[in-house]
Amino acid sequence: MTTARRPCIGVFDSGFGGLTVLKELVALAPDADYIYFGDTARLPYGSKSAETVARYAIGAAQYLEQHGAQMMVIACNTATALALDQITQASSVPVVGVIEPGAARAADATQTRRVVVIGTEATVSSHAYARALQERAIQATEQACPLFVPLVEEGWAEHPVAEQVARIYLDRAFAGDFQSADVLVLGCTHYPLLKPLLHRLVPGGVTIVDSADSTARVVSQLLRKGLPRRSSEDERRGTPRLKFFVTDSVEKFHRMGAHFLGSPIEDVQHVELRE
């Protein structure tokens, strides 16, 4: 007798940050298998046009669909901000971005109706979080934190330099009318690695909303409502199967990726996407 197969979820990011989303997905939705695509040869996306980001992201999403993805998680704030509609239109499976879940969680958490969002230059310039929060009658201020990504990738999330930089950014963000803000949204998937530091530095009573965790909760809810399953024999397997595709160095992805995922990374394949 055949049993239903675990659903397969594709996770896309421009590089390593999306692994923090995958980490939360594995924790909150362990009854699925995951295939991850990191476009490491073409990062960062933040300096590219919306048209280029859409083209790259659609290519990656189509690749994941061809490899069995039944749902797509765009684990990249820049790609979500600049190209979610285009990716959704080009996909034949459900697509979940990271911005709406983060904004919804922030709206639920705030009492003062004022929220601070930190992110990359590209995400902040898109004002995607501010719009999503405004639709929920929440005021938002957005602070670009361009030094956070290189600090995290250098492994300096707890370094005194990171603390000095974070103090400057947070002082700018929690100023003026937003001294009363009571939620900080981490609008970049690198930033969960800075959470211990940020918890120490934010004003008292501020809730930190992590878009990686928020997105994983949404995916978990969608899974409970039911994705189409296909027949197989491995339904009883306890842990998700993880497979990784990258467009640049496999060795670097093994090394750096484990830092973001919080566990060793295996089964990584190098791929080249034709333009």
Out of 188, 212, 216, 256, which one is annotated catalytic? 188
Amino acid at 137: A
The token duo for 204 is: 């008292």
Does 76 qualify as catalytic in the annotation?
yes
Count of H helices and E strands in the chain? 11, 12
249 closest CA partner among 61, 46, 62, 39 = 39
Cis peptide before 146 (omega within 30 of 0): no
* End-to-end Cα distance, the chain: 43
Residue found under tokens 């938002």:
140
Report the 3 state secondary structure along 40-102. Answer: CCCCCCCCCCHHHHHHHHHHHHHHHHHCCCCEEEECCHHHHHHHHHHHHHHCCCCEEECHHHH
Amino acid at 127: H
Q: For residue 194, give the H/E element and its range.
A: none
Out of 58, 76, 138, 152, which one is annotated catalytic? 76
CB atoms within 10 A of CB 180: 14
Q: Tell me if 5 sits within 8 A of 234, measured CB to CB.
A: yes
**Residues labelled catalytic:** 76, 188
